[in-house]
Amino acid sequence: MRTPLMAGNWKMFKSVRESVAMVTALRPKIDGVTGVDVLVAPTFLAVPAVAAALEGSGIHVAAQNCHWEREGAFTGEVSAAMIRDAGAGWVIVGHSERRTLFGETDLSVNRKLRAAITATLTPIVCIGETLDEREGGQTHDVLDRQIQRGLDGVTGAELAALVIAYEPVWAIGTGRTATPEQAQDAHAHIRGRLTQWFGSDAAARCRVLYGGSVKPDNVATLMAQPDVDGALIGGASLDVDSFTRIVKFRVA
Ligand code: PGA
């Protein structure tokens, strides 16, 4: 029921020219691949050019952040409606780097998420615990809080269409991936809460991605877990060959 999604988060990497070169090289490599959705998230600046280069390809484009207002005096911000207008259909919300480095809270995540839905963008909402929280036995509580506050006011139908990315903060950019068992435990917990709060039909449709040091050689074992519906990939999505191998995880 849930088509796997492989989403490349390019963070603050690649100029416009480099972004277009990447997707131009990527497109023919994954052209015939079926049964998996593919998405790239370049910087705001590269969204229009990447969207144009990917037209008709089936590869989706996301922004990495948005503001919750449609427009206004918010220097340096970009609205969900503007992202939609620039050619992207998706947006990442609440990435741990935004939470820890730029002060985002569950409340701002919730506002952004609702703005994204209003602008007909598909949100990828990131949640996940820090190392201290994991070692303190708080993982499930942290996830509960992030889901409950972050998704406040979201309907079952909206939940079914959005994507959650479980990204343990200690696994992001560290080379320390969660084991498949740790990922499945967190994903099953998330799905259980979604079932409780949004109903079993919506929870069964909502895709939950794993993120944190996903690489070509560990993606298949993560994807073998029943509640892992894809991956949010940082470092390994910046290179055409490694991202292609991840998208083709079934072949490897
Ligand atoms: P990583 O980043 O794959 O480089 O660990 C994942 C993410 O931050 O989404």
pLDDT one-digit tens code per residue, 37-91: 999 999 999 999 999 999 999 999 999 999 999 999 999 999 999 999 999 999 9
Check residue 107 and give its pLDDT: 98
Q: Is 95 a catalytic residue?
A: yes
Check residue 1 and give its pLDDT: 84
Check residue 59 and give its pLDDT: 97
- Residues 202 and 136 occupy one common structural domain: yes
- Residues 69 and 152 occupy one common structural domain: no
Tell me what percent of the residues of the chain surpass a pLDDT of 70: 100
What digits encode the pLDDT tens for the residues 82-116?
Answer: 999 999 999 999 999 999 999 999 999 999 999 99
Domain final residue pick, 95, 113, 140: 95
Residue 194 sits in a domain of what CATH number?
3.20.20.70
Query: Is residue 91 in some structural domain?
Result: yes
Which residue has the least CA distance to atom 3 on ligand 1? 234
3-class SS letters over the chain:
CCCCEEEEECCCCCCHHHHHHHHHHHHHHCCCCCCCEEEEECCHHHHHHHHHHCCCCCCEEEECCCECCCCCCCCCCCEHHHHHHCCCCEEEECCHHHHHHCCCCHHHHHHHHHHHHHCCCEEEEEECCCHHHHHCCCHHHHHHHHHHHHCCCCCHHHHHHCEEEECCHHHCCCCCCCCHHHHHHHHHHHHHHHHHHHCHHHHHHCEEEEECCCCCCCHHHHHCCCCCCEEEECHHHCCHHHHHHHHCCCCC
- Residues 137 and 217 occupy one common structural domain: yes
Report the mean per-residue pLDDT for the chain. Answer: 97
Average of pLDDT values for 109-132?
98
Q: How far away, in angstroms, is 72 Cα from ligand 1 center?
A: 31
Check residue 32 and give its pLDDT: 87
Tell me what percent of the residues of the chain surpass a pLDDT of 90: 96
- Residues 218 and 136 occupy one common structural domain: yes
Query: Is residue 203 in some structural domain?
Result: yes
- Residues 91 and 132 occupy one common structural domain: no
- Residues 136 and 84 occupy one common structural domain: no
Q: Is 140 a catalytic residue?
A: no
Q: How far away, in angstroms, is 161 Cα from ligand 1 center?
A: 23
Domain count, the chain: 2
Query: Is residue 81 in some structural domain?
Result: yes
Which position among 95, 97, 129, 187 bears the catalytic label? 95
- Residues 132 and 198 occupy one common structural domain: yes
Say yes or no: CB of residue 126 within 6 Å of ligand 1.
Answer: no
Q: How far away, in angstroms, is 193 Cα from ligand 1 center?
A: 24
Say yes or no: CB of residue 108 within 6 Å of ligand 1.
Answer: no
Say yes or no: CB of residue 222 within 6 Å of ligand 1.
Answer: no
**Domain region containing 27:** 1-5+10-95
- Residues 30 and 76 occupy one common structural domain: yes
Query: Is residue 239 in some structural domain?
Result: no
**pLDDT band at residue 220 using 50, 70 and 90 as cut-offs:** very high
Q: Does the reported pTM lie above 0.95?
A: yes
**pLDDT band at residue 249 using 50, 70 and 90 as cut-offs:** very high
Which position among 97, 104, 129, 167 bears the catalytic label? 167
Domain final residue pick, 79, 95, 111: 95
**pLDDT band at residue 120 using 50, 70 and 90 as cut-offs:** very high
* pLDDT at 252 exceeding the cut of 90: no
* Least confident residue range of 30-34, 53-57, 142-146: 30-34
